[in-house]
Structure 1
Amino acid sequence: MEPVERSERLDANAIGEVHLLQSSSTLIPGDTVWRRCEARRVAVLNDAAAYFAALRQALLEAQDLVYIIGWDIHSQTRLVGESGRADDGLPEQLGPFLRALVHRRPALRINILVWDFVSFYASEREWNSATKFTAGTDGRVRFHFDSTLPFGSAQHQKIVCVDGSLAFVGGLDLTIRRWDTSDHCADHALRRDPQGKPYLPFHDVQCMVEGDAAAWLFDLAQGRWRAAGQQIEDQCALKSIRWPATVPVEAEHVPVGIARTDVVCPAGSTIREVERSMIAAIRSATSFVYIENQFTSAIKIARELAEQMLRVPSVRVLVVAPKLHSSWLESQAMQNGRGAFIDYFNAAGVADRIRFVYPVSRSGDTEAAVMVHSKLMIIDDRILRIGSANLNNRSMGADSECDLIFEAASDQHRDFVASVRHRLIAHFCGLDEQAVTQNEDRLFALLDDVSRTDGTKTLRDVESSVLTSTLATMVQPVADPELPLHLERAASRMWRTKTLIGIASIAVALVGLAMAWSYTSLSDLADAGRISTLLSAYSQSVWGPAFAIAAFVVGGLAVFPVLVLIAATAAALGPWLGFVTALAGVLLSACILFVIGRGLGRERLQQLLGRRAARIQERVVGKGVLAVVIIRMIPIAPFSLVNVVAGASTLPLRDFLVGTLLGMTPGILAMAVLGAQIADLARNASWSSILLLALAFLGWLGVCAGAQFVAAWLAGRR
């Protein structure tokens, strides 16, 4: 990062540029915003208790159609206000509440769209969410995971639209471990997850709008629903609903822009309105920039802020962020980015006019850092933006985001924006709004005064720190990319001639080795009697079965004929111990080769196929248990080769192992227990014996088909 040269004075051109930007709107449809419209009424909801209470009231008035768009949603989220209780007769938890709501209003439909998260979030997400929201609703609550974004990108918008009349936008998802009041007590009896585990104070901001802004947000939500592959039902004219009675109207008829980041758009382009609108707003700053954000790692935004502070020496900046990130993985991924973001201002020579702070709450001897999750920016009390976009790279160009940008058009609007800023700072410091207003000219000094007292709340300086671990260095570019990762595009670069020749060589070698055991001098070694004699030396030892299982593993890696190993094991260890040992050896060998195949080929295969072809493959492989059974019972390819190829497909390991178990068991059992009888049957076959064998085969296929049904049912449940 090159240091920014410090300017000692503003030249005439810079002054003219600043005044031009200040006097003109930053809301330019098709450039900095998607739509510029008007919010007939606006309220800023500070923290989840206020948001959940307002949303609950709005949903109770819903008549026709609700869209809930989120990064995460949890059926056990308690949709309650500051009291922690609901008094409307409906369940407090979100899933049961929505189900009860559609039963109360038979014409109401609710569409829920949530990001189809990547696997390392699985432990944090709810199991079987769809059923918990939709059960018993006759299809009037629909739940869909959005999997349309490129790998590595996330559906990060947090929007709720009610009948196209009211809309909520901000940083809050309707999920657990979000609820808190603006008191942010160090310990709160109601701040518990569904397992009763307490979590730290949590701060976020959501806004509620009415009028044209709500109507356009409804269109945006409907477009996201359609882009995710879901049908739009025929609908009657949307009904206007009442503004929640307990929510004060803070401003009226405010110009507002809707800014997006979106990667699900034609020709692989990216909509970057969030980034452009943020840069335009920063370039218009002349006095004070207030920021609340969970992540600060977008160096482009740091550069814009620093350069504006150099152009306009009167600009000061206050950034409220979390002390630490919420998980170890986030720390590994984002801490270096935050350190570089903070260091940029030191290099620019403007660090004395910017403060990075985190909020703390105390209760007796207990002290807790408040988790700042909000995504808010205020410029000169003229521009207020609230939404889902973090100040990180991925929110600028890799994820889907939605921000509302309010632009003051009157003194009343400026008073509204100033009041939001004063209120937020005051609630972090344990002060009233008036105290912040009266100390406007010495705000940083006021923060220092508060930090020296023994009050229940304070703001402390964030320390710039950088992780030097190899993991942090590797994770950050993937966790915070500036653009979608586009693995399909990367795959096209990986599948070069050299790669294809290498993979083809491996396949030919496997087939060639399998044939060598049968048709060359190696066939002398592949004799069941010879192998049986070798294993018999260990047959009386406790290590006999283990030695035999190891032989299956080594044999699998060497593409040794598995039937020879099965026959030799049964002969050496006896029918029953031989059966169990051979079955264990077959499964272990198959599993190891499957894992090798997956490591070598699955990602490349899926990337080569592309998204649509991969989905078709997944549907075909959905019959995996039965397919594996048939291949095992009618061996059309060497055992080892089948295992590796299965690993390189999208076949689940569970289906592969179940299919192998069911497909190999009859043959292993027959060879172990009925070896001599099978040979006699082959020599003296009769129509009756053939019929019995055919019936046994069909009966076993019926058992395997039942296993396939169970596997498919379990997959559907997931």
Structure 2
Amino acid sequence: MSLLIPGETCWRTDTADRCAFLIDTEAYFTALYEAFQKARRSILILGWAFDPRTRLFPDGYDAPDDPDEVGHVLLRLARERPELDIRLLIWKSALPIAATQEFFPHKARKWFEGSRVKFRLDDQVPMGACHHQKVVVIDDRLAFCGGGDIGVDRWDTPGHLDVDLRRIMPDQECHAPRHEVMIMVDGAAARALGEHFRFRWRIGPTEEPLAPPPDAGGDPWPDHVPPHLTGVKVGIARTAPPWRGGPATHELRRLTLAAIAEARETIYLENQYFTSPVITEALARRLAEPEGPDVVLVTTGFSPSWFDKLAMDNARGAMVWRLRAADVFDRFRALYPSTAAGSTIIVHSKTSIFDDRLARVGSANLNNRSFGFDTEIELAVEAQDEAQRVILAAMRDRLVGHFLGYTGDAVAKARAEHGGSLVRAIDALNREGRLREIHPARPRGFAEFVSAYHLGDPSCPEDSWRPWRRRARLFEEAKALAGASGATP
């Protein structure tokens, strides 16, 4: 029985003729650049953030107006191809967040002023919420979706080197190692994401309609990227808060709970934030089962900003302790990756793989706001036969292996040697300690209050300024899940 149910766990399902997973931003930016060059009718970019100074091919030296800066690439394409419609729809970030980004993307409006590139900031969400979706669509024939924004501090390779001068930013400083995952699809799935962009564009402040691009033929799929899957079923799942008479959309939340409930052997989660009590209780319920699945969470050791450390890391600590208490059969690991010399790797990926059946890549964190307050979108690939299941399992093993310094084949071999257990395979291969266990400290004082009431992490517009209501809502939902398993949340 499919986990992808249109109208319930996803918006719709479509077929991708080709599908590829892009691990880390070097792969994403390289594929993006080649797709831009092949565009014939339209380039549509949807993002949480956007910095036109982003280098697509950084070389360790940053100078103003480098030709590989994405802003210059788009301006050049707009000049050379008058038939090409280039549009960017980026969240109009709140000033405290914009300040951390040198007030980009707000400054990007002036970057494209007077050009044929149509750049718009989108503030059509409830106060305090954000547009968090990250999508790029080329000619309605090719689309990218995932956790990665086009920003100056995003580029990295799967090697996540301690020192890599290519991770240079415009201020000549190098940013920390960073892990991202994107998914690339074509066919009907790409057309559906084009439709989603046009919907977002139309509901903006000007309510400007946007027609699909005329078919100009061609194939924007990057030549250097072989597809991992062909003819695969893809579900598109979203989160959207109720806004100006529009309904709330909770497909991502429903899909996450359904996937957790149906997993048999392995739940693998890569995510920046893990603070949802509801998801925590769903996982705790599975860990309490004698024959339940392994649960592996890979996240960042410590958030890079003080606000996220306060609001997210403390709440995450409570979730990790809850799962460790439920883990009576030793099947849970909460881990953060480090480089060979011990530097923390920022995990910004929002990727999950359930058994060898379902792989999900998108923008949603495992926190309250991603399931009801912000706008989110992801693609879920459901294996239809044994060959596709082998590929999804290999993708999960490759992700785990690249953190440990091993190949995916080595992870698969270790799993086979330990009865199929991913937890035991990681324990066996993690000799250098590249994946470290999270040991959250007990929050005290104001931090304990922030954690208890999930300040900064609302679950819906109704509780965004009423943390006492949020606490009651989340407790009741978690209690219902725990009660079904006979546990105490």
Instruction: Name the counterpart of 1:293.
Output: 271
1:264, CA displacement in angstroms? 5.2
Letter in 2 for 1:379: F
Matched letter for residue 134 of structure 1? F
- The answer to whether 1:275 aligns with 2:253 is yes
The answer to whether structure 1 residue 250 and structure 2 residue 228 are counterparts is yes
Provide the C-alpha distance between the structure 2 equivalents of 1:103 and 1:486, rounded to a whole number of angstroms: 47
Q: What is aligned with 1:63?
A: 40
Counterpart in 2 of 1:98? 74
- Contact 2:415-2:424 within 8 A present in 1 as well: no
Q: Given the alignment, which residue of 15, 29, 33 partners 1:38?
A: 15
- 1:439 Cα deviation after fit: 0.8
* 2:473 alignment counterpart: none
**2:205 aligned with 1:225, yes or no?**
no
The one-letter amino acid paired with 1:301 is I
Query: Is 1:354 the counterpart of 2:332 in the alignment?
Result: yes
Tell me which protein shows more helix as a share of its residues. Answer: 1
1:642 alignment counterpart: none
CA distance in structure 2 between the partners assigned to 1:91 and 1:195 by the alignment:
17
Q: CA deviation at 1:122?
A: 2.6
Q: 377, 382, 385: which is aligned to 2:360? A: 385
Mean Cα deviation higher: 115-124 or 414-423:
115-124
Shift of 1:143: 1.2
2:448 & 2:56 partners in 1: Cα distance?
37
Contact 1:164–1:218 (8 Å) recurs in 2 = yes
Percent identity, aligned pairs only, is 36
Cα separation, partners in 2 of 1:229 and 1:312, compared to 1, 3 Å: farther
Match of 1:400 in 2: 375
**Alpha carbons of structure 1 residues 229 and 238: separation in structure 2 relative to 1, 3 Å:** farther
**Whole-Å separation in 1 of the counterparts to 2:195 and 2:126:** 23
Cα deviations by residue, 1:332-364 (Å, 9 ceiling, x for unpaired) = 0112210121122233244711101111112xx
Which whole-Å CA distance do the structure 1 matches of 2:368 and 2:223 have between them? 39
262 and 53 in structure 1: CA distance in 2 versus 1, 3 angstrom threshold:
same
Q: Does 1:167 align with 2:140?
A: no
Q: Are positions 1:216 and 2:192 aligned together?
A: yes
Three-state SS of the structure 2 residue aligned to 1:267 is coil
Change (3 A) 1:485 1:134: farther
1:79 equivalenced with 2:56 (yes/no): yes
Q: Distance in 2 between matches of 1:373 and 1:212?
A: 28
Answer yes or no: is 1:369 the counterpart of 2:348: no
The Cα shift of 1:235 comes to 5.6
Aligned to 1:447: 426
**Distance change >3 Å, CA 336–CA 235, structure 1 → 2:** closer
Query: Residue 41 of structure 2 contacts residue 84 of structure 2 at CA under 8 Å; is this kept in 1?
Result: yes
Q: Secondary structure at the match of 1:431?
A: coil
Q: Spell out the pairing of 1:433-582 with structure 2 (5 A cutoff).
A: 433-441=408-416, 442=418, 443-453=422-432, 458-470=434-446, 473-474=449-450, 477-484=454-461
More strand by share: 2
| Secondary structure of 2:173 counterpart | coil
Q: Secondary structure at the match of 2:434?
A: strand
The one-letter code of the counterpart of 2:199 is: G
**1:439 partner SS:** helix
Q: CA deviation at 1:401?
A: 0.2
Deviation at 1:470, TM superposition (A): 1.4
Contact 2:342/2:434 (CA < 8 Å) preserved in 1? no
Question: How far, CA to CA, are the matches of 1:78 and 1:324 in structure 2?
Answer: 26
Check the 8 A contact 2:198/2:210 in 1, yes or no.
no
Letter in structure 1 aligned against 2:358: I
User: 1:515-572 CA distances to partner (integer Å, 9 max, x unpaired)?
Assistant: xxxxxxxxxxxxxxxxxxxxxxxxxxxxxxxxxxxxxxxxxxxxxxxxxxxxxxxxxx
Q: Is 1:192 aligned to 2:163, yes or no?
A: no
CA distance in 2 between partners of 1:349 and 1:471 (Å): 26
Does 2:277 correspond to 1:302? no
Q: Distance in 2 between matches of 1:236 and 1:379?
A: 36
Deviation of 1:182 (Å): 0.6
Structure 2: how far apart are the matches of 1:350 and 1:227?
Answer: 49
Distance in 2, Cα, partners of 1:447 & 1:311: 21
**Helix, strand or coil: the match of 1:367?**
coil
Match of 1:119 in 2: 95
User: Structure 1 residues 253 and 359, CA, compared in 2 at 3 Å: closer, same or farther?
Assistant: same
CA distance in 2, matches of 1:235, 1:30: 23
The TM-score, its normalising length taken from structure 1, stands at 0.61
Q: 1: distance between equivalents of 2:276 and 2:376?
A: 15
Show structure 1 runs of 5+ residues with no match. 1-23, 491-718
Cα deviation 1:10-40 (Å, max 9, x = unaligned) = xxxxxxxxxxxxxx10111111100111111
Measure the CA separation in 2 of the matches of 1:188 and 1:434. 26
Alignment deviations for residues 40-82 of structure 1 (CA, whole Å, 9 cap, x no partner): 100000000000000110011111122111110001111127x
- Displacement, 1:477? 3.2
Question: 1:266 offset after TM fit, Å?
Answer: 5.8
Residue 479 (structure 2) aligns with: none
- Post-superposition offset of 1:90: 8.8
Counterpart CA distance in 2 for 1:227 and 1:465 is: 44
Alignment RMSD, CA only?
A: 2.3
TM-aligned CA deviation for residue 440 of structure 1: 1.0
In structure 1, C-alpha distance between the alignment counterparts of 2:329 and 2:314, rounded to whole Å: 18
Distance 1:177 1:94, change over 3 A: same
Q: CA deviation at 1:112?
A: 0.8
8 Å contact from structure 2 (residues 259, 354) kept in 1:
yes
| Residue pair 2:286, 2:292 contacting (<8 A) in 1 also | no
How far, CA to CA, are the matches of 2:431 and 2:87 in structure 1? 50
CA distance change for structure 1 residues 350 and 255 in 2, over 3 Å: closer, same or farther? farther
The one-letter code sitting in structure 1 at the alignment partner of 2:372 is G
CA contact (8 A) 1:227 1:264 kept: no
Q: Is the 8 A contact 1:29 1:35 kept in 2?
A: yes
Is this contact kept in 2: 1:27–1:257, CA < 8 A? yes
**SS, match of residue 237 in structure 1:** coil
Structure 2 partner of 1:648: none
Q: Decide whether the 8 Å contact of 1:152 with 1:478 is kept in 2.
A: no
Q: CA offset at residue 309 of structure 1?
A: 2.9
After TM superposition, give the deviation of residue 412 of structure 1 in Å: 1.6
Q: Distance in 2 between matches of 1:236 and 1:261?
A: 26
Instruction: Tell me, yes or no, if the aligned pair for 2:125 and 2:243 is still in contact at 8 Å.
Output: no
Query: Which residue of structure 2 lines up, in the alignment, with residue 539 of structure 1?
Result: none
Cα deviation code 1:84-140 (max 9, x no counterpart) = 799xx9921011111011112111111111111112113222445233441341xx2
Contact 2:331–2:423 (Cα < 8 Å) also in 1: no
Measured in 2, the distance between the counterparts of 1:413 and 1:472 equals 45
Corresponding residue number in structure 1 for 2:476: none
Q: After superposition, where does 1:145-160 map in structure 2 within 5 Å?
A: 145-160=121-136
* Structure 1: distance between partners of 2:443 and 2:113: 46
Q: Which residue of the other structure, out of 304, 321, 325, is the alignment partner of 2:299?
A: 321
Once the two structures are superposed, residues 139-194 of structure 1 have per-residue CA deviations (whole angstroms, 9 ceiling, x without a partner) of x2111111110011110000011111100000000011100011000111111211
- Cα deviation for residue 238 of structure 1 reads 3.1
Match of 1:716 in 2: none
Aligned residue in 1 for 2:30: 53
Tell me the TM-score normalised to structure 2 length.
0.88
CA distance in 2, matches of 1:163, 1:294: 31
Q: Identify unmatched segments of 5+ residues in structure 2.
A: 467-489
Q: C-alpha deviations, 1:490-516, integer Å up to 9, x for none?
A: 8xxxxxxxxxxxxxxxxxxxxxxxxxx
Which entry has the higher C-alpha Rg, 1 or 2?
1
SS at match of 2:330: helix
